[in-house]
Structure 1
Amino acid sequence: MAARDNLKFTEIYKDEHTAARAGILTINGFKIKTPILWLGHNFKGPLSIWNEERIGLPGLLVNACEILSRSTVTESVLANGMQKYLDYTGPIMMDSGGFLFLKNNKMGVSANKISDVYEKAKIDIGVTLDHPLNPSLSSSENRKRWECTLRNTEVMFLTKGSYGFMPVVHGYTLNELKKSCQQIRNIVGEPALIGIGSLVPLIKASYLGNGFLYRRSNGENGDHITFIADALKLVREEFPNSFMHVFGVGGITTALLMFALGADSVDSVAWRLKAGYGAIQLPGISDRFLSPRPESKKSRPVLSEKEEKTLAHCDCPICINYRKIGWQKRRLDNSFKSRAIHNGWIFLKEVVAFRDEIFKGKGYHFIVERLSKQHRLSKLFLHSIQE
């Protein structure tokens, strides 16, 4: 039976004070607990975190653009499937890589080609080949990109592949976003899966200021921060029974905020990126260096004495092997792989803990305890709850 015929999302419980909810996504024999964070995999210097003891990876995100840019990977994946290539037996979502294609100033691949890759890779969820918008582009250019995304969505939906198909909505005004939801509905009906795209520049931007303005539903002007909350709310209202995914959220605190605003699913490569420049994460604590790094372009605090006590209690596959904090810190400080495994563990454990708190009606308090006033999205969370 094709994944599209055997695909169902079931809401189990709603949080009392936020828009978060817990549910189950059934696909290809998997019963995926939500909210879920998909760890992004990188085929350049691959790290098989799923092979680490006790990780229990709930889902992996891979990228078609990255696969197609490596001929040996492409050949093996298309011949044997993604699970066999990675030696990973869990759920796999594959993004088209539209953002990466456009980053290279060309979309040198067709919707039919991406559909073929998805089918032969035997993945569970395949994302439409979209042309992400950017707030720095003109309205006419963004409109052209959306029209390309719509055409690709129709082509890929009509291929009737065996994977679960995820269309993606885009827009930088509420009217645009609502219209895009209607246009997607005209193509696929009520989608079991829905993605929200083009939010990455807004989530990561501190430079936009008054450069991004739109009219909120109450008639007031909003900025790029309020738009994130309004966008998630609108898409959730348009597709209340759909599994809703937000792409490229960054760190774990931002991921938790997206869940609190209504997302069922997010993905992140930050667990690797942070490890790459020498940083680790801890529950409720942002990036920390383990020792001073004056040569680093990333300015991050060094782990404090109080934070060392938190690290000492970490039971990730790396930290659990060390009884003394000094040894533990040296291992993490000297090894990218160790930091990445540690970060991946923290990311996944935090999502599991948040899901548990949803059932207790304490999702709001869980996030407040972890959200610093300095976080760029802190006001977004507090304002969205008040509204």
Structure 2
Amino acid sequence: MKIALGTPLSAVPKPWLYFDVPALIINALEAKRRNPRLALGYEGELWLDSGGFQVLRKGLQLAVEEVAEVYRQVEAQYYLSLDVPPSPTDPPDVAEKKFEKTYRNWVRLSRAVEGVVPVLHVYRDEGLFLKYLRRYLDAPVLAIGGAVPYVLITRGVPRGSREYALRLIKTAREEFKGKLHVLGLGSPSVTPILEALGVDSTDTSTWRVKAAYGKVILPGGGERHVTGRKVNFGPKKALEEELEELRAFLAQTGFPALTPDFSQRLAESFEYRALVNAWVVLHSRTAPRSPAFRKLYAALAAPHSG
């Protein structure tokens, strides 16, 4: 399964200059201002995200015509349609209006630009999800969005939301015959499940975000603080045995920047943490470390993979 790294155009560091990165996903609003391939120094597979989610968070609106204009100017392999994500708390009638708006945006963008990928959102009404899934069955590629609140955050969603969302993704994989991409679930806790379900690709931006907060991502999922910052809540500081486990994983998988002062560089350098995190995200396929995700892996993925 392919994992695309989400990145701003001003990314530091650029992991693809150190090792193979199979795909990048960038914001079209940034691409509007700068040539992304020139800014990134990257010639591989490129996904453009419409930027609609960020615009909605700011209370603004983005027109289909604006997105189409950017997409026509930037050479990429995949262009994600302008979506209107339903909130898990939206009542069904409100959610359906957003599903319909997302569908209509895709129809309009597809007429203007070749290669636009429709986005279908995870939502608590399975019937609504399935209704719109069937509208996209003839598309060559489908992206599943809106899964992050259900799978990785779980605040404000019903109990059992992780399994529910992953079962919807499993259903989409069984019914949709083209390439299936799942947005934002490139965590090592989840990627083994997605891969076993037959998902073709996913993406994540956490490799940089976690590094900026002084954290490293562990093989199999989970994160640990490695700087001298005080930790008041959330993930704990890394134990020596955890750092040794991480070092061993990097050595076994051929990480090209492993050095004798590994622990010190993790503690002192954001760039080094980001490179390590990017490598772990791209290469970790062990069973999930978390008991909750390990249970889901056994329930959902293991039967499929066997």
Partner AA of 1:165 in structure 2: V
Rg (Cα) greater in structure? 1
Identity of aligned residues (%): 26
Aligned to 2:225: 289
Q: Distance in 1 between matches of 2:119 and 2:220?
A: 31
Distance in 1, Cα, partners of 2:158 & 2:220: 30
| TM-superposed deviation, 1:44 | 5.2
Letter in 2 for 1:36: K
The match for 2:165 is 228
Give secondary structure in 2 for the equivalent of 1:38. Answer: strand
SS, match of residue 284 in structure 1:
coil
The alpha carbon displacement at 1:168 in A equals: 1.3
Flag structure 1 segments of 5+ consecutive residues without an equivalent.
1-34, 68-72, 214-222, 355-365
* Equivalenced residues, count: 298
Residues 212 and 304 of structure 1: is their aligned pair in 2 closer, same or farther, counting only changes over 3 Å?
closer
Counterpart among 162, 174, 180 of residue 126 in structure 2 = 174
- Corresponding residue for 1:194? 142
Structure 2 unpaired stretches of 5+: none
1:39-95 deviations in Å (ceiling 9; x for gaps):
00023554322112xx11110010124x1xxxxx63332xxxx32232111110111
Normalising by the residue count of structure 1, what TM-score does the alignment of the two structures yield? 0.71
The question of 1:40 aligning with 2:6 is answered yes
Shift of residue 293 of structure 1? 2.9
Q: 1:334 to 1:166 in 2, by over 3 A?
A: same
Q: Which residue of 1 aligns with 2:27?
A: 63
Residue of structure 2 in register with 1:304 after alignment: 239
User: Judging changes above 3 Å, is the alpha-carbon distance between structure 1 residues 280 and 349 closer, same or farther for their aligned structure 2 residues?
Assistant: same
Q: Do the aligned partners of 1:127 and 1:167 also contact (CA within 8 Å) in 2?
A: yes
Q: d(CA) in 2 for partners of 1:47 and 1:147?
A: 39
Give the 3-state SS of the residue equivalent to 1:75 in structure 2. Answer: coil
Quote the offset at 1:282 in angstroms.
3.1
CA RMSD for the aligned pairs?
2.3
1:132 to 85, 102, 109: 85
Q: How does 1:200-349 map to 2 (within 5 A)?
A: 200-208=148-156, 212=158, 223-239=160-176, 241-249=177-185, 251-284=187-220, 286-294=222-230, 296=231, 298-313=233-248, 314-315=250-251, 316-318=255-257, 320=258, 322-323=259-260, 327-349=261-283
Distance 1:380 1:89, change over 3 A: same
Structure with greater contact order relative to length (CA < 8 Å, sep ≥ 6): 1
**Residues 282 and 200 of structure 1: is their aligned pair in 2 closer, same or farther, counting only changes over 3 Å?**
closer
Give me the TM-score of the superposition, normalised by structure 2.
Answer: 0.88
**How far off its partner does 1:349 sit?**
2.1
Could you tell me which residue of structure 2 aligns to residue 372 of structure 1?
A: 290
Aligned equivalents of 1:306 and 1:75: distance in 2?
45
Contact 1:277-1:298 within 8 A present in 2 as well: no
Q: SS state of the match for residue 143, structure 2? A: strand
